[in-house]
């Protein structure tokens, strides 16, 4: 048996691991399912190895035992507002839950951080006032709004 990656992030699912992996690879470009290892249940295989935008991942569908938490999440860097909106909307569809500051929990219970590339750029400013305004604006958001962050970066706080 050949293994494509030495290290993978693994998520423990109670059920529907294969369904989740298929949805994730359809959602994110440069993604694919690499291996499916059944455990006598072809409709819900035990192990699904996949690559998500070049990052090796694995879902272990092993029933009860552990719950997914935001302590382990998938952080996805988006190119622009269109991609941010597309991913955010897809992840909250069919029972996902929006969170704050770009966080979302999908319908399978996996936490994601949907982060436009522009946000960490603005937060890395040499100007502490810009960082403060951008941070404060971001803390008020669910889905990240790049235009609002840009506006906060440019406008000094009103006194």
Residue range(s) in the chain whose domain bears CATH number 3.10.180.10 = 1-66, 68-159
CA–CA dist 118, 141 (Å, integer): 15
Q: Which fold, 1-66?
A: 2,3-Dihydroxybiphenyl 1,2-Dioxygenase; domain 1 (3.10.180)
Q: Which residues contact 5 (CB under 8 A, 6 or more apart)?
A: 49, 51, 56
Q: Which residues contact 154 (CB under 8 A, 6 or more apart)?
A: none
Q: Which residues contact 150 (CB under 8 A, 6 or more apart)?
A: 118, 122
CA–CA dist 13, 62 (Å, integer): 6
CA–CA dist 83, 33 (Å, integer): 22
pLDDT number for residue 157:
57
CA–CA dist 110, 89 (Å, integer): 15
In CATH, which superfamily holds the domain spanning 68-159? Answer: 2,3-Dihydroxybiphenyl 1,2-Dioxygenase, domain 1 (3.10.180.10)
The answer to whether 61 touches 44, Cβ cutoff 8 Å, is yes
Residue-level pLDDT, tens digit, the chain, 159 residues: 566 678 899 999 999 999 999 999 999 999 999 999 887 666 677 899 999 999 999 999 888 888 899 999 999 999 999 999 999 999 999 999 999 999 999 999 999 999 999 999 999 999 999 999 999 999 999 999 999 999 999 987 555
Sign of CA pseudo-dihedral 84, 71, 99, 16: positive
């Amino acid at each position: 048996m050949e293994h494509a990656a030495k290290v993978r992030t693994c998520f423990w699912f109670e059920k529907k691991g294969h369904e989740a992996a298929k949805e994730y690879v359809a959602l994110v470009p440069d993604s694919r399912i690499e291996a499916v290892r059944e455990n006598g249940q072809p409709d819900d295989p035990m192990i699904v190895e996949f690559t998500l935008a070049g990052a090796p991942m694995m879902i272990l569908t092993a029933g009860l035992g552990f719950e997914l938490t935001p302590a382990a999440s998938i952080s996805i860097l988006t190119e622009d507002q269109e991609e941010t909106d597309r991913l955010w909307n897809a992840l909250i569809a069919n029972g996902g839950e929006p969170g704050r500051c770009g966080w979302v929990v999908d319908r399978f219970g996996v936490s994601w951080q949907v982060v436009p590339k522009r946000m960490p750029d603005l937060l890395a400013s040499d100007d502490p006032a810009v960082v403060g305004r951008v941070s404060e604006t971001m803390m008020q958001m669910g889905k990240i709004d790049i235009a609002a962050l840009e506006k906060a970066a440019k406008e000094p706080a009103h006194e």
